[in-house]
Amino acid sequence: MAAGEAVSGALLVAEALRAQNIEYMFGIVGIPVTEIAVAAQAVGIKYIGMRNEQAACYAASAIGYLTGRPGVCLVVSGPGFLHALGGMANATVNCWPLIVIGGSSDRNQETMGAFQEFPQVEAGRLYNKLSVRPSSLEVIPAVIEKAVRTSMYGRPGSCYIDIPGDFVNLEVNKSSVKYVECCPPPPTSMAEHSAVSKAVSIIAHAKQPLLIIGKGAAYSHAENNIRKLVDLCGLPFLPTPMAKGVVPDNHPNCVAAARSTALQHADVVILLGARLNWILHFGLPPRFRKDVKVIQIDICAEELGNNVRPAAALLGDINAVTKQLLEEFSKRLLKYPSNSEWWKKLREKIKNNEERSKELALQKSLPMNYYTVFHHIRELIPKDSILVSEGANTMDIGRTMLPNYYPRQRLDAGTFGTMGVGLGFAIAAALVAKDRTPEKRVICIEGDSAFGFSGMEVETICRYNLPIVIIVVNNNGIYTGLNADNWKEMLQYGDPATCVPPVSLLPNSHYEEIMSAFGGKGYFVKTPEELQKALKASMTDKQTPSLINVMIDPQSDRKKQEFPWLTRSNL
């Protein structure tokens, strides 16, 4: 464009996003943002039209985790903005970079009861690191650069940009626009040398050490240094759910199969990008020893000392700090002995738990249980598959049964425990894989309840021809369900609203027909043989989306646990 040429607000938004190396935009168009989506496509941003703003926001946030650069969610005013709040909160709690752009009422109609008028900037502040409305068209590029930078720097999270409806088609002279360069990746911060030395000394004197790897380590691409640290030091390690694969699950030092024992008896715990929140039972007894020493490594200063006072606190980028630890260990030639009593105890527990899981997986009875289903999935999907999973038992048992060998290839309900993320995450993962590693398959494993939150995104998957394999593990309910006979028996007592248990869903629902309706392949499965056949067909066809609806015993449950998975207060 010539220097004196006019440019619209919609094009300014699109060009500013492209200047910040934004690749993907998800959303649902309508008044007043349709022109922004069109402009985004014109400048080379891929626009993926979704069926629900929540799913669009989940997809955009997953882009941030998978690429390190935020995805964008574009929503209309009022209800569209409100529907996206779940995705904003999920991204911020998960520490994933995200940009949400929402249209809003025209400025000259504020307080007048305008179409879908809502105080979006104010409402967004609770869910975002930054919630802002540009004061003029001229500052849009600067505001977008700040939002992108804020979403990535420090602890990543969501940022919201409000665009008044009258800004979209309003034009301004390009020469008056405040253009800014692309913000670089976050600067790398390192821990103080004294803190590193203190941490290594504590680890050196540990009798029963445990390394806990969090998804912050996956996000910081620390896998090479962490693998070296594990091999050099001989430490047992436990990955949190989305950190699976930072070090392969089949590494001999992985103690995921002895999780409760490892947490309960470790005398020194090293947290690499993991938080002592509900997922790790707050670091408190009885799941942890009262005298456990915690070495905390985190990018966020405010996280240090949360719930448990650390014996050593290392503030910095996980990859950089891990390298510092490696260098210190190399100087001291320290290695934890593989024949210690601690290792013997962990290996014995691993063996017992794996045998119990194998016993459940090989049961021949019908309907199938969770373990049988996951056994066959594990046998037939590629080892480098990107696994997306959500649901209660489906996600939790799948986490133990389906190994990950590579980092950033497991996405699930995350820190916020959000249901409904599955198909959005799968769409994002499939788009990234298509552009970067097209040989990878995306396998989305859903409970039937979880699938219901975003099931219409199957149409989005088919529209963009994303070869995602969806596996619905169907137990006719939430946690547990009823079989067809028990369902009919319940209905004899009257209105299902008063007689049917709240956890129950309609038995034998044919979710696979949703996929078939939009041109994908659908399979209804009741036996291991049918499951194997459907999986093989889905893996062979790398062009067509598929959905395998797997019926299991409605009363199937996880094996008995030493502790409940969710810590509750005794107060």
Instruction: Give the model confidence (pLDDT) of 470-511 as tens digits.
Output: 999 999 999 999 999 999 999 888 888 999 999 999 999 999
* Domain 6-176 matches domain 193-347 at the CATH topology level: yes
- What's the pLDDT at 133? 98
**What is the C-alpha to C-alpha distance for residues 558 and 394, in angstroms, rounded to an integer?**
9
Q: For the structural domain made of 193-347, what CATH number should be given? A: 3.40.50.1220
Of how many residues is the chain composed?
571
**pLDDT tens digits, one per residue of 510-560:** 999 999 999 999 999 999 999 999 999 999 999 999 999 999 999 998 776
Residue 223: pLDDT above 90? yes
* Residues in Cβ contact with 374 at an 8 Å cutoff, skipping those fewer than 6 apart: 361, 397, 398, 401, 402
Mean pLDDT throughout 148-162?
A: 98
Q: In the 8-state DSSP scheme, what is residue 183?
A: P
Q: For the structural domain made of 6-176, what CATH number should be given? A: 3.40.50.970
Residue 417: pLDDT above 90? yes
Q: Considering the domain 363-551, what is its CATH architecture? A: 3-Layer(aba) Sandwich (3.40)
Q: In the 8-state DSSP scheme, what is residue 493?
A: T
**What is the C-alpha to C-alpha distance for residues 427 and 163, in angstroms, rounded to an integer?**
26
Pairing of strands 171-173, 6-8: antiparallel
pTM for the full predicted model:
0.96
**pLDDT tens digits, one per residue of 231-260:** 999 999 999 999 999 999 999 999 999 999
221: phi > 0 → left, psi -120 to 50 → alpha, else beta; which?
Answer: left
Residue 98: pLDDT above 90? yes
Residue 570: pLDDT above 90? no
* Residues in Cβ contact with 210 at an 8 Å cutoff, skipping those fewer than 6 apart: 235, 236, 237, 238, 255, 262, 263, 266, 268, 269, 270
**What is the C-alpha to C-alpha distance for residues 166 and 187, in angstroms, rounded to an integer?**
37
Give which of 159, 92, 64, 14 is closest to 428, Cα–Cα: 64
Type of residue numbered 255: V
Mean pLDDT throughout 14-21?
A: 98
- What's the pLDDT at 557? 86
What residue segments make up the domains of the chain, in order of their start?
Answer: 6-176, 193-347, 363-551
Q: Find out whether the peptide bond into 156 is cis, omega within 30 degrees of 0.
A: no
Angle (nearest 5°) at CA 249 between 248 and 252: 90
Mean pLDDT throughout 294-301?
A: 97
How many percent of the chain have pLDDT more than 70?
98
Residue 564: pLDDT above 80? no
**pLDDT tens digits, one per residue of 54-94:** 999 999 999 999 999 999 999 999 999 999 999 999 999 99
**What is the C-alpha to C-alpha distance for residues 251 and 234, in angstroms, rounded to an integer?**
11
Burial class (CB in 10 A: 0-12, 13-18, 19+), 432: buried
DSSP code per residue over 220-282? TT-HHHHHHHHHHH---EEE-GGGTTSS-TTSTTB-GGGHHHHHHH-SEEEEES---SGGGGG
